[in-house]
Each structure stands twice: as structure tokens, then as C-alpha cells.
Amino acid sequence: MAEAMASENQSSRPNVALISGITGQDGSYLAELLLSKGYEVHGIIRRSSSFNTSRIRHLYEDPLAFKQGKSFQLHYGDLTDSTCLVKLIHKIKPSEIYNLGAQSHVKVSFDLSEYTADVDAVGVVRLLDAVRTCGMDKSVRLYQASTSELYGKVVETPQTEATPFYPQSPYGCAKLYAFWICKVYREAYNMHISNGILFNHESPRRGETFVTRKITRCVAKIHLDQMESFELGNLDAKRDWGHAKDYVEAMWKMMQLDEPQDLVISTGEVHSVREFVEASFAEIDRKIVWEGSAESEVGREADTGIVRVRVNPKFYRPAEVEFLQGDCSKAKSLFDWKPKFDFKSLVKDMVQSDIELFRHNPNA
């Protein structure tokens, strides 16, 4: 049903997308998806002292895409700079804006709480006001990257759109403001703004300091004899992990709905950090057995007895989110969305990709 609505929208509206956070994990997959659907894609990139476009280089260096007339343009900008947002929206005149830009790391948000609020909370109101300043509030659809971190210290399981929020970090609080300001602008100004409340999603393009990617990078290095062991924090934290490729598809489908929505996107399947470690080692045919408890716990390779994983409290957070499990029945009732990856194939994709990466470039 949503598919039908999507193609209807596609034929009646020009497909020009503006993506903040295009250099990130989700931004890069979303740009690929939108280009494959014939969109003109514009991305906001930040000025940085070294290249920050490795995840999207293939899109602007692809001669075939150029030949096919695919339109992909990058613009310098920042969610902390209102004037640039107004100028970009005025120039590009997007039909859809995907606000994926954020300081997205929960632990880092405890060290950079003011900055996180500036980008992840105030940045959203800057973007919304830029749309209104350009007089585009009735023509633009906006997607806000909301998060399961809003549920934090969960008050019910599984979490749905009706579950009360209880954030546990400066990141969660900033995203809470963003969620609500989107809702307020939607209702006050009748704007088409949707909050995608996405549970954790990972991929070979996930940032290296998130736990899944940290694990798959280390396991790949162990497989290639480039590392002996690594350290983690809370092994008992549980997450509902999906694949970013599947989740950007849900973002796009949400934006094609006639009515804007706030929707949970999740797999419903929960695993601990410890299980992610075991599954990653299983990909290289090694079994991990756990010994000890709390900070003295280690993960030992069953066959060789070598300690591969240690616990280091420096990776603990001042406040922890112990358990997240989403129920995305509402989204599934509004559009046809079925993840292609399950937990095992997600882990496989990440481990195999990191093995390839380090085989050719041990210092990557």
C-alpha cells in the first residue's frame, strides 16, 4: 500500500533530497538508495582538516553514475550555522530533507554535552526554521533521525511509539528535544515532519568506536594475526541490532506516507554485547568461553586458551542503557518493510568486510 503511495508521490513531486550527515553510516546508504530511485541528491558536509568523505567517495567518483546523469552534489555546511542552512535550502529547494547529522556517540556525549545539545537539539530547530524562512514549510517533507536512546532506562518492554521516554545520556536528552520540536512544528505549522525512532543499526560502515564495529575490527585482526586481544566495557548490555541498509529503506518509506508519523524501526530480536563477541568469533571458526566476573571477566579461546577479550572499566558509561527491544508493528502496518539481514548475517557481513579491509591494509 505504501509502495503505491510512494510511486504516486514520485510522479507528482520533484525528487530532490537534501541529506545532513551524508558522510556518516546512514547518510551514505541513504544516498545510494535515493540515487537508485532517480533522486537528485544533495549532501551537507562539514569542513574538516582531513578527508571525511570515505563512505561516499564511490558516489562522486563513479564515472558510470556520471554517464547515467545521476545528480549528486556536496555542499559545505553545518547544523550549528543557521545562515548556511537557509542559503542551502533556498538554493537546492529540496522536496525531502533527511536530518541525519548529529554527534551520534552516547559515551562521547557525556564529555561533550553542550556541543551535543547544540548540534543534535538546537541544530534541528535551526533546520526547521530555515525551511520556514525559505517559505517551504508546505512543500518540504522532513525526516528526523530519532533514536531508541530516548527510551533509556526503559519503563516497558518491548518499546513502542506509546512507551514513555526516559533518556540516560546528554545524547538522549538532546534527541528528546529534537523529537518534540519536530512534533511541535508539525502540529503548529502543519508541516510534513516524521520522527524515525530507529533502534541500533550497524554495518561495515559503522563508526569504529561503536561496540559492534569495534568487535568486528578486532576479530578480523585476530583472524589475520595482526592483534592478540582487545578490551570492552559492559558485556551484558543488550541491544536490538539491525542492518543500516535495511533501516534507510524504512526511512524512505516513512517519508512517502501521506501523513507524517513517529515510528519505531527495529528487528525485535535482542542480543548482548557478549553474544555479539561470540557470534563474531564463530565467523572465524573460534569458540570463546567466559571466565571470572565483572572487571575480572575474560573471554578465552577454547582451543588455544589464549585470552582474547578483557573488561576495562574505562569503557563503562556514567549511566548505562542496559536493554533495548523495539516493536515496529505500527510501521509494518503502514508500509511493507521486511529486513533482509538477521543477526547472524549482520555479523557475517561486518566480520567478512573487516577481514577484507585489513588483509589489504593492516593500518586501516
- Residues marked active site are found at 147, 149, 171
Q: Is 200 in the site for ligand GDP (CB under 6 A)?
A: yes
Residues in region 151-210 near ligand NAP by CB under 6 A: 198, 200-201, 207
- By CB under 6 A, is residue 130 in contact with ligand NAP? no
- All three cell numbers of 236, joined, read 551484558
3 state SS of 243: strand
Helix, strand, coil in percent for the chain, rounding step 5 = 45, 20, 40
Q: Is 363 in the site for ligand NAP (CB under 6 A)?
A: no
156 is written with which cell numbers? Answer: 516497558
Q: How far is the CB of 199 from ligand GDP (least distance, A)?
A: 9
Residue 26 interacts with ligand NAP (CB under 6 A)? yes
Q: Cα(74)–Cα(18) distance, rounded to whole angstroms?
A: 10
Q: In this structure, are residues 212 and 205 in contact, taking their beta carbons and an 8 Å threshold? A: no
What phi, psi does 328 have (nearest 5°)? -100, 30
Residue with the CB atom nearest ligand NAP in the bound state = 24
Is the CB of 39 or the CB of 241 nearer to ligand GDP?
Answer: 241
User: Which residue, 297, 305, 310, 282, is CA-closest to 223?
Assistant: 282
Q: Using CB under 6 A, pick the residue from 119, 211, 279, 346 that binds ligand GDP.
A: 211
Q: Residue 117: CB partners within 8 Å, gap ≥ 6?
A: 170, 173, 174, 177
Closest distance between ligand NAP and the C-beta of residue 83, in Å? 14
Site for ligand GDP contains 154 (CB under 6 A): no
Question: What is the rounded CA–CA span in Å between residue 349 and residue 137?
Answer: 40
Number of residues near ligand GDP (by CB under 6 A): 18
Report H helices in the chain: 2-12, 25-36, 57-60, 63-67, 82-92, 106-111, 113-116, 123-133, 170-189, 211-223, 244-255, 273-283, 329-334, 343-360
* Partner in contact with 79, chosen from ligand GDP, ligand NAP, none, beta carbon below 5 to 8 Å by kind: ligand NAP
Q: Is 210 in the site for ligand GDP (CB under 6 A)?
A: yes
In this chain, which residue has its C-beta nearest to ligand GDP? Answer: 237
* Contact range with ligand NAP by CB under 6 A, out of 1-9, 77-85, 86-94, 185-193: 77-85
Q: Is 315 in the site for ligand GDP (CB under 6 A)?
A: yes
9: contact with ligand GDP by CB under 6 A: no
Q: Quick check: 45 and 123 in contact, CB under 8 A?
A: no
Q: Is residue 299 within the footprint of ligand NAP (CB under 6 A)? A: no
Question: By rule CB under 6 A, what count of residues binds ligand NAP?
Answer: 26
Task: Report the interface residues with ligand GDP, using CB under 6 A.
Answer: 106-107, 200, 209-212, 214, 232-234, 237, 239, 273, 315, 317, 320-321
